[in-house]
Amino acid sequence: MKTRIAFTFILIFGFILISCNDNDETIKTVELKDLINPEFPEAKEEVMNTFGEIAQSIIDGDMDKLIAFHAYSPKFTEFKNGEPRNGGVANEAYERNVFGSVTEVVKFGADDLQIAVYGDVANLTFHSDFQLKFGDDLVVVNDQITLLFVKTKDGWKMVHEHHSPLK
């Protein structure tokens, strides 16, 4: 009798677990090969267009537009200048201060640009060849830059930036 009750309980509990998993549409299982191998050409083009708009916002001196390409949250991270990681508040302040002080964009080159898309995540890497004027001072920025994007309902947004000197 105890065995029959235990067996019935296991069957019912197993059925409940299976039913919950079948009906839970928020759980998605994706094979790694389904994200790593495909090129996602439409998404790559969208990310490239977003990068172009980011560059244009810097050229135009439109800091609000530049900042709008970021998805600031407690998850946002940035590495730059060999310093410890910072977050969205520091990133926004830095970008408004630095890019807001540019008086002329002489050159905004992105050499060896690559975009790798993994579904709703994209990694854009390049070697910067920026020549920015701050008043009469010309600053040349040759960095390795990584921008990590996530696709949102409002388009592709940056969630991580990494800048390190290119040697």
Domain CATH number, residue 45: 3.10.450.50
**Quick check: is 93 in a domain?**
yes
* Boundaries of domain holding 146: 37-165
Q: Is residue 53 in a domain? A: yes
Element at 95 (helix H, strand E): helix 88-100
Q: Is residue 147 assigned to a domain?
A: yes
136: in domain: yes
In a domain, 26, yes or no: no
Question: How many domains is the chain partitioned into structurally?
Answer: 1
Assess if residue 104 is contained within a domain: yes
Report pLDDT digits (tens) over 104-138: 999 999 999 999 999 999 999 999 999 999 999 99
- So what's the pLDDT on residue 8? 39
User: Which parts of the chain have pLDDT scores under 70?
Assistant: 1-27
